Amino acid sequence: MSPAITRRHRVRWCECDMFGHVNHTAYLLWCEDLRVAHWESLGQSFCPGGVGPVVARLEARYLAPLAYGEEVTLTLSVPSLRRSSFVHDYAVWRGEQQVFACRAVVVCVDNATGRPIPIPPEARALLTGRDGALAE
Amino acid sequence: MSPAITRRHRVRWCECDMFGHVNHTAYLLWCEDLRVAHWESLGQSFCPGGVGPVVARLEARYLAPLAYGEEVTLTLSVPSLRRSSFVHDYAVWRGEQQVFACRAVVVCVDNATGRPIPIPPEARALLTGRDGALAE
Amino acid sequence: MSPAITRRHRVRWCECDMFGHVNHTAYLLWCEDLRVAHWESLGQSFCPGGVGPVVARLEARYLAPLAYGEEVTLTLSVPSLRRSSFVHDYAVWRGEQQVFACRAVVVCVDNATGRPIPIPPEARALLTGRDGALAE
Amino acid sequence: MSPAITRRHRVRWCECDMFGHVNHTAYLLWCEDLRVAHWESLGQSFCPGGVGPVVARLEARYLAPLAYGEEVTLTLSVPSLRRSSFVHDYAVWRGEQQVFACRAVVVCVDNATGRPIPIPPEARALLTGRDGALAE
C-alpha cells in the first residue's frame, strides 16, 4: 500500500531528551501533523461547528532510537475504514530502516457534541478511491 | 490490583488544543512522569553508564475528552514482568470515570549500548514483592 | 514585595534537553501556569466572549541552569498596572539562589476582537489592594 | 542587515492554544531551531566536551497573533558580538507584516564546566565576515 502522505523531517533539538534520544511523544506529534494534513486533503477543515478527527486509540512501537539532527521520512497510510472511523498507519524511516510504527483509530465526531458521526461522503470517496482504504 | 503510584493533576493551559481538549500527547507525558517516578522508587536512577527504562510499545485508549482546569487522578500499576522488561498500566480518572487507559512495555537497557539487560535484582524484588507484578 | 503566588515544582524529565538542562521554554510554561492561576484569582476566567490576558512582551534572564529532579520555588508578583495592562514579575528559586527572572507585560483583550480593553474593575481592585500593584 | 538564516514555516496544530492562537513558547522554539542551525553553520556542533551556545537573556515582543495553518517566514540576524557572547535578532513575518520580534544574548560556554569561554575563532570570523556582526 503506497502512503497517502510522505514527508521529510530533520530531528529538532527540542525533540531530544537527556540521553540524546527523540522523546516518545515527538513521534506522536509528527503523526498528528500527518493526520491533520490528511484530514485537510480530504476536503475537511477544523471548525467548532463541523466534523473533526479524534484519536480514540493508538498503538505505537518504538523500533530503534533516533538522535538529534537525523533525517527521517514520515509516512501515513489508510488501510481501512468503517462508518464513522478510519485507521491510520504511521511509519518513521531512517533510510531503509523503519524505526517507528503506529496504528491509530480515528473517529469522526461532531465537534459541537463530541458524538461520533458518519465519515462525510466526499472524505469517504477519497479514502477508498485515492487512499485505498478497505471497508471493514 | 492497587496502583504502585497515584497522583493528582490539574489540567494545564498548555496541555489543551484549539478545541479545548487535552492534547493526546499530554496524557503520555503524565505517564512518563509516573514511569520516571516509579523507576526511581525501584532504587534506580538516570545515568549515562547505568540501566534505563525505555518504552518499546504503547497502547493508549482515549475514553473521554478532558478540558482545561479539570482535576484528574493518575495511576500506575505493574501487572507483569519478564527477564528484561515489565508492563506498566496507566490510567487517568475524573472522579469515578476512567477517561484514559494506556499499557506500555518498558525494556531495561544498558544506556551505554542501548541493548536490553536483565532487570536489576533489587528492582525485580520490588516489582514482584511491593508492586504485585507477576512473572509472565 | 511579597509574591501574589508561590508554588513548588520538581523538574520533569520532559523539561530537560540533551545536555541535561531545563529547556528555556519550560521556565516560560511555568510562568504561564502562574499567570493563568493569577488571572483566575482575580475572579476572571477563560471564555471566548470575555476578557483574556495576552502576553505582549517578555524579558527573561537565565541566571543558572537547572537539572532533572531539582526542586524549585516559583513566584509571581505584580509590580504595576496601567489602564489595560499589568506587569508580572516571575522568579524561579533553588533554595536561596534565584536561577531565573522574567518580566511580562500582560494586556487585557476582548477575546472576540483581540483589541485591548480596560482591566475589569474587580480585577483592578485586587491587583492594587491585594497584590500591591502600583498605577504607572 | 540581511538575515543570516531565513526559513518558511506553517503553523502546526500542536502550536495553538484554546483560543486558536500560537502559544508564546512555540515562537521561542522556532527561534531555537534557527539558533541551533546557525551554530552549526558556524562550523560548531553539540558535544558534551565542546563549546555550546547558551541563552542568557531573551526579550520577546508579540506583535500580532498567529493562527493554525498560517504560513510565516522566520529570520535570524546577528547584529553584534563580544568576547564570549553574541546577539541574535529573530523575527517572524506574515507576508510583509512582522508579528514577532525577539532579541537573545547567547553565551558560549564550556559544556563540561558551564563557564563562559571565548567565541571559537572560526565562528568569530563567520559572525563578523559573513553575518555582519559588529564588535560591541
Rg (chain C; Cα; Å) = 16
What is the CATH number for D62? Answer: 3.10.129.10
- Judged by CB atoms closer than 8 Å, whether chains meet at D52 and C19 is answered as yes
pTM above 0.90, yes or no: yes
For residue D29, list chain A residues with Cβ-Cβ distance below 8 A. Answer: 12, 14
Q: Which residues of A touch C (CB under 8 A)?
A: 13-14, 16-18, 20, 23, 25, 68
Alpha-carbon distance C117 to C111, whole Å? 10
Q: Are strands A51-62 and A85-94 parallel, antiparallel or unpaired?
A: unpaired
pLDDT surpassing 80 at residue A3: yes
Using CB atoms, list chains with 3+ pairs below 8 Å to chain C.
A, B, D
Q: What is the pLDDT of residue A49?
A: 85
pLDDT surpassing 80 at residue A1: no
Alpha-carbon distance A1 to A13, whole Å? 32
Find the closest chain A residue to B58 by CA distance: A60
* Contact (CB, 8 A) for C26 and A24: no
- Judged by CB atoms closer than 8 Å, whether chains meet at B24 and A46 is answered as no
pLDDT digits 0-9 by tens, A17-29: 999 999 999 999 9
pLDDT surpassing 80 at residue C1: no
* Mean pLDDT over each residue of chain C, to the nearest integer: 96
The residue of A18, A22, A27 whose CB has the most chain C CBs within 10 angstroms, and thus the best one to mutate to test that interface, is: A18
At B48, is the pLDDT very low, low, confident or very high (cuts 50, 70, 90)?
confident
Q: What is the pLDDT of residue B49?
A: 85
pLDDT digits 0-9 by tens, B53-74: 999 999 999 999 999 999 999 9
pLDDT surpassing 80 at residue B51: yes
Cell of D27: 515562537
Rg (chain D; Cα; Å) = 16
Residue D70 vs residue B1, higher pLDDT: D70
Count Cα atoms within 13 angstroms, Cβ side, for D101: 6
- Judged by CB atoms closer than 8 Å, whether chains meet at B17 and D16 is answered as yes
For residue A24, list chain B residues with Cβ-Cβ distance below 8 A. Answer: 28, 32, 55, 58
Find the closest chain C residue to D52 by CA distance: C19
DSSP label of D130 = T
For residue D14, list chain A residues with Cβ-Cβ distance below 8 A. Answer: 29, 32-33
The residue of C10, C13, C46 whose CB has the most chain B CBs within 10 angstroms, and thus the best one to mutate to test that interface, is: C13
Distance from CA of D135 to the nearest CA of A (A): 29
Cell of B96: 469515578
Average pLDDT over residues C22-47: 97
Q: What is the pLDDT of residue D48?
A: 83
**Residue C49's CB: how many other CB atoms inside 10 A?**
7
The residue of D11, D16, D17 whose CB has the most chain B CBs within 10 angstroms, and thus the best one to mutate to test that interface, is: D17
- Judged by CB atoms closer than 8 Å, whether chains meet at D17 and B18 is answered as yes
- The ipTM (two decimal places) reads 0.95
Q: 3-state SS of chain C: helix, strand, coil percent to 5?
A: 20, 45, 35
Split into its structural domains, chain C has a count of 1
At C86, is the pLDDT very low, low, confident or very high (cuts 50, 70, 90)?
very high
Q: 3-state SS of chain A: helix, strand, coil percent to 5?
A: 20, 45, 35
A50, A123, A128, D18 from A44: Cα distances, Å = 9, 7, 16, 20
Find the closest chain C residue to A19 by CA distance: C18
Find the closest chain D residue to C53 by CA distance: D19
Q: What is the pLDDT of residue C136?
A: 87
For residue D46, list chain A residues with Cβ-Cβ distance below 8 A. Answer: 13, 68
Q: What is the pLDDT of residue D58?
A: 98
Q: What is the pLDDT of residue A136?
A: 87
Give the structural domain span for A72.
5-135
Distance from CA of B67 to the nearest CA of C (A): 12
pLDDT surpassing 90 at residue C82: yes
Find the closest chain B residue to C35 by CA distance: B13
For residue B13, list chain C residues with Cβ-Cβ distance below 8 A. Answer: 32-33, 36, 46
pLDDT digits 0-9 by tens, C43-63: 999 988 899 999 999 999 999
Residues of chain D with pLDDT under 70: none
pLDDT surpassing 90 at residue A104: yes
Q: Which residues contact D95 (CB under 8 A, 6 or more apart)?
A: none
- Judged by CB atoms closer than 8 Å, whether chains meet at D29 and A36 is answered as no
DSSP result, C31-78: HHHHHHHHHHHTT----TTSEEEEEEEEEEEE-S--BTT-EEEEEEE-
pLDDT surpassing 90 at residue A48: no
Distance from CA of B63 to the nearest CA of A (A): 7
Using CB atoms, list chains with 3+ pairs below 8 Å to chain D.
A, B, C
Which residue type sits at C45? Answer: S
Name the residue among B56, B61, B72, B54 with its Cα closest to residue B24: B61
Q: What is the pLDDT of residue C36?
A: 97
DSSP label of A21 = B
pLDDT surpassing 80 at residue C68: yes
